[in-house]
Structure 1
Amino acid sequence: MIWTFIMFFSLELDRSNISQANADNFLNDLHLTTNDFNLGNILFRLSFLCAELPSQLVSKRVGPDVWIPCQMILWSIVSLSQFWLNGKGSFLACRCLLGFLQGGFIPDVVLYLSYFYTKNELPIRLAFFWVSNYTSDMVSAFVATGILSLRGVHGEAGWRYLFLIEGGITLLVGLLSFIMMPPGPTQTKAWFRPKGWFTEREEIIMVNRVLRDDPSKSDMHNREGLNVKMIWEALKDWRLWPLYALGLTHMVPVIPPQTYLTLSLRNLGFTTTQTSLLSIPSLFMGMSLLLVMAFVSEIINSRIAATLVLQFWALPLLIALFTFNQTTSQWAYFAVVSLIAGYPYVHPIQVAWASRNSYSVRTRTISASVYNMFVQAANIIAANIYRADDKPLYKRGNKDLIAICCMNISLYIGTYFFYRTLNARREKIWTSMSSKEQQEYLETTADDGNKRLDFRFAY
């Protein structure tokens, strides 16, 4: 768990350092417009999306313990190569390559963690996994304050050193990951770790507790690939479609203000150092709310209640942002945008929710990728909402965000009744059967995964 935290920390260093680069006249140095910046984000997310499923297939075949370090080494080389960016073409090419090489990392790690933890333990672990995201952004803001001050050293811009240094850090973590990632809980021994991490008794306990919690994990081992039929069966599972729909829309209302935070602060007249440091409060707030909502979702045992909070958080703030004009205080703007950017990050809860409602390892492997593909598609949508002809206040864009936020509230309510109805229908059929009929069904049914009559969907 600790090492997955470090790996995700490294991913976020390379994924979000472009935001810190914007504080150092990155766009002006490369003669790029904000529309070019949007296009780069779109291509990054599109490439990220396209890599999700192929990466999961490779990961299932060779094992995440081999494939994840390979991914990290490849994308870190591209990341540090951004030191030599020279214009729009190289910028867009690097965004495409980074997106494609980073695309499968998150679902690969989610699959990897599911080997070690039960379905009730996974949401909290994923919450801590995503805490590394915020930790990385906060550390990056402090580090960037120092690195960006190197502007002028050897005649180079500070953002070039930012890409070079942080890409080098990720390369080192990628190399160490070959050593730090065991294939599974019973395979921790290696030539450099002859005793492994666990005793034989501990391994038996770990495997038994995971299999008792989720017997479907016995169906596949960690080097077994997926065939076309398995993929098709998982994709046509309509019971997961509402979660995919939520993945497509739930974060759209908060992404544009968050993405444009550093650019907006520079436009308001803040210096490079001030801009880097002023991005930290929203990160700390988002990290805190992420952990709070992860615990709340388990305490109240309601995914809908925990994830719907994001929409009610964003809606009044977006309305306030829409009312701002040219005379609004820069500190009022900073406060509202920081609150939006510090939103309760419910994505880990929804990842675990999709994993839990998939039930079997086969469908979970695909559903994690498909869900993340919809999330990346959401980023593509969000990247097109703030346009150059709408700046600096982005009135049209903010109006669109308010409308999407209202739509999301309706989607969550619909998802609640969807899963509640499915469970009620199954419960009615199940309770109408005698104990003998129930036992016979369990022993002879061809239904698997979430199709089983004794399975209940989380909501």
Structure 2
Amino acid sequence: MSSASGSIGDSDSSYDDKTTLVLEEELGDGVGETSSLLTDKNANGGTADKKEYGAFNEKDTVIPEEFEGNEYQYHAAEIEAALANGQIPWSEEEERTVLRKTDLRVMILACVMFFSLDLDRSNIQQVVSSDFLLDTSMTTNDYNVGQSLFLIFFLSLEVPSQLMNKRFGPERWLPTIMFGWSIVSTIQVLITARPFFLFTRAALGFCQGGFVSGLAFYVSSFYKSDELSIRLSWIWATQSGTNVISALLASAILLMRDVGTLKNWQWLLLLEGLLTMAIGIATFFLIPSLKTPGIASIFTPREAAILRARVEHDDPSKKNQSNKDVGKRQTPKQIAGSVFGALTDKYLVPIFILGYIGFIPSVTMRYYFPINMRFLMFDTTTINLLIIPYAALNIFWTTTFSKLSDHYRTKWLFAVLSAIWVFPNLIFLQFLPYSANRWWRFASYTWVLGYPYYQPILVSWVSANSNDPDRRALAQSIYNIAVQLGNLTAANVYMENDSPYYHRGNYVLLALNLTSIVLAISIRTYYIRENNRRDNIWSTMTELEQMEYRNGGGNEKGNNRLDFRFKI
């Protein structure tokens, strides 16, 4: 078999008459020796509860002469024809191979990319554990303003960046903005006073805005809905892993006091900025894409066809997700309409709100962890090392909860359990006596920050319940805007006149934590009632009406369609 010369993106879901004729002549009515796909749907309207795989061997395939040099087109057409007949034309071993290759090639790079983001946006926490504020004649309120400026610019670029991501493709746009923020991160070494500090925080937010939602959208193109939470958890676990790595780096680099003409915190910013610059440049050449021929070096033509078909079969709305030409055909008025539609989607807004309030307690405490540990009289090296315990806990519990969420196909429960985790620890911290040993206060912070971060679960929830590629892209951006607004709020919960124990701030965190628990339970009830309402309408339709509706009938689109059921 010759290697494929075309990329996955060279074809769409339709094939010419010549393709159909050859397939009919070669394969007859049944495409390969496959088993029937059971079509019973689960209560959430998701994929089949059980499936049987075809006994297929790629080595036995004889590619017709008409498709020599373009085997991907042949396999894609063959698979589509089989799926249309209710069959799965690949073996379980083939699917495992495709999934393993995707994890190794897509997810590892995605985690490295996220590492680059988080290293540059969070190393300010290690910087303030040094004499940075003293050297630059700034206060903690100045630090708050800088964090707020970063978040304002970060969230203001969410939607514009996602539109650019759709237009040019993530394989081009994501490395571009990575290189941009690495430059800004590097020039932070020139900070001497408040004005330039505020400028660099704003510029860093400007460059990094839209990256998180763009990366989540990119990753969702490669996976089915019940595989996405755990993969996204790897990305957000990278955030905790970055905390560990940056803490170790900071512990070493901050020992470089007045080496050369730079202070220790300047060395930290310079070296980490150069590291992320190298990652950004490398990503230009390494990032795989469904739209570029480079994917052929990772998968065989048949594996490439399986990769795309299995995702689109699970969620037909992803059929055009990798089509970056869609953005070019939209006028400004259409773009504005799409953004407004995603922003006011009544089925997604509750998740947006949960994303806003749900993480404020932990983010507030993470922002102020170095400052509070410094108040407890820990030295700079110890403070950076004390980050490691909560980061390790967070990695373990985040990936565990996300895996369980995928396994049991439920989102709301693990969001509730994650929020419940935080509540008693906030109570403990609030009423801990002033005279208590400092390690008790450290333990309380560690247990809160080590909680199962349910951001991956909410991101996959938004993705699963969008049911439209353009809506999915914009909804993920809007969701991330909500999260960043929450981070902006978190940066201003603990105020200097409430220090050092922040009792007023802790009461605010307790109220928000309880609200997030109630909201997650309410979202579950909302989706169940909507699914039941659609079931009742669907049951009144004849089989012919249902078939016509499935084939594109009805005026409803996206998650408003009667044949769509919300994941709960």
TM range (shorter): over 0.9
Post-superposition CA distance 1:140-182 (Å, at most 9, x none): 1111110000012124321111110011011001111110113
Which structure is higher in helix share?
1
1:101 deviation in Å?
A: 0.6
Aligned to 2:245, what secondary structure does the other structure show? helix
Cα distance in structure 1, aligned partners of 2:259 and 2:341: 57
Query: Given the alignment of the two structures, is residue 183 of structure 1 paired with residue 289 of structure 2, yes or no?
Result: yes
The secondary structure found in structure 2 opposite 1:120 is: helix
How far does residue 337 in structure 1 lie from its aligned partner after superposition? 0.8
Aligned to 1:445: 554
Q: Contact conserved, 1:324 with 1:393, CA < 8 A, in 2?
A: no
Partner of 1:126: 232
Q: Equivalents in 2 of 1:109, 1:188: separation in Å?
A: 20
Tell me which amino acid in the other structure corresponds to 1:403. Answer: A
Q: Which residue of 2 aligns with 1:455?
A: 564
- The aligned counterpart of 1:47 is 153
Give the Å deviation of 1:300.
2.5
State the Cα distance separating 1:326 from its structure 2 match: 2.7
Structure 1 CA distance for aligned equivalents of residues 471 and 513 of structure 2: 30
Q: Which of 402, 413, 420 is residue 312 of structure 1 equivalent to?
A: 420
Matches within 5 A, 1:370-389: 370-389=478-497
Contact 1:141–1:280, Cα closer than 8 Å, also in 2: yes
Kept in 2: contact 1:147–1:161 (CA 8 A)? yes
The corresponding residue for 2:324 is 222
Contact 1:258-1:341 within 8 A present in 2 as well: yes
1:196 Cα shift? 2.2
What residue number does 1:432 align with?
540
Instruction: Give the match for residue 168 of structure 2.
Output: 62
Which of residues 275, 289, 296 in structure 1 aligns to 2:397?
A: 289
Q: Which of the residues 341, 345, 368 maps onto 1:237? A: 345
1:417 aligns to what? 525
On the 8 A contact 1:182/1:188 being kept in 2, the answer is no
1:106-255 equivalences under 5 Å are 106-184=212-290, 187-189=292-294, 196-219=297-320, 221-225=323-327, 226=330, 227-228=334-335, 229-255=337-363
What do the CA deviations read for 1:283-320 (whole angstroms, capped 9, x no partner)? 00011110011011122322111111222111111111
Residues 226 and 407, structure 2, Cα contact 8 Å, conserved in 1? no
Runs of 4+ in structure 1 deviating by more than 4 angstroms, as ranges, are none
| Counterpart Cα distance in 2 of 1:210 and 1:298 | 15
Query: How many angstroms apart in 1 are the aligned matches of 2:533 and 2:355?
Result: 26
Residue 23 of structure 1 and its aligned partner are, at CA, apart by 1.6
Q: Which amino acid aligns with 2:479?
A: Y
CA distance in 1, matches of 2:472, 2:456: 15
Match of 1:85 among 191, 195, 206: 191
User: Displacement, 1:447?
Assistant: 1.8
Which residue of structure 2 aligns with residue 344 of structure 1? 452
Structure 1: 5+ residue stretches without partners: none
Counterpart of 1:334 (choices 426, 438, 442) is: 442
2-structure distance, mates of 1:235, 1:256: 26
Q: How far apart, CA to CA, are the structure 1 residues paired with 2:228 and 2:346?
A: 24
Judge conservation of contact 2:157–2:210 (CA < 8 Å) in 1.
yes
Deviation at 1:324, TM superposition (A): 2.5
Query: Does the 8 A contact of 2:312 with 2:318 survive in 1?
Result: yes
Pick the aligned partner of 1:393 from 490, 497, 501: 501
Determine the C-alpha separation between the residues in 1 that align with 2:515 and 2:425.
16
C-alpha distance in 1, partners of 2:566/2:472? Answer: 14
SS in 1 for 2:347: helix
User: 2:305 is aligned with what amino acid?
Assistant: I
Contact kept, 8 Å, 1:183 with 1:222, in 2: the verdict is no
**Counterparts of 1:214 and 1:304, CA distance in 2:** 20
Please tell me the residue identity of whatever aligns with 2:429: L
Which stretch shifts more, 276-285 or 131-140?
Answer: 131-140
Q: CA-atom RMSD, angstroms?
A: 1.4
Supply the distance in 1 between the matched residues of 2:377 and 2:261 (Cα, whole angstroms).
Answer: 25
- 8 A contact 2:191–2:197 mirrored in 1: yes
Letter in 2 for 1:149: L
Q: Which moved more, 1:169-178 or 1:27-36?
A: 27-36
Count of aligned residue pairs for this structure pair:
454
Q: 1:71 touches 1:102 (CA, 8 Å); kept in 2?
A: yes
Aligned AA for 2:517? I
Aligned partners of 2:225 and 2:315 also within 8 Å: yes
One-letter amino acid of the counterpart of residue 187, structure 1: T
Larger radius of gyration: 2
Aligned residue among 17, 30, 33 for 2:139: 33
Deviation digits for residues 118-157 of structure 1 (CA, Å, limit 9, x no counterpart): 2221211111121211111101111111000001212432
Relative to structure 1, the CA distance from residue 382 to residue 80 in structure 2 (aligned partners, 3 Å threshold; closer, same or farther) is: same
Segments of structure 2 that go 5 or more residues without pairing to the other structure are 1-106
* TM-score, normalised by the number of residues in structure 1: 0.96
Q: Is the 8 A contact 1:188 1:198 kept in 2?
A: no
C-alpha distance after superposition, 1:353-396 (max 9, x if no partner):
01110011010010000000000000111111100000011111
Take 1:38 and 1:189, find their aligned partners in 2: how far apart are those partners?
44
CA positional deviation for 1:213: 1.2
Post-superposition shift, 1:267?
1.2
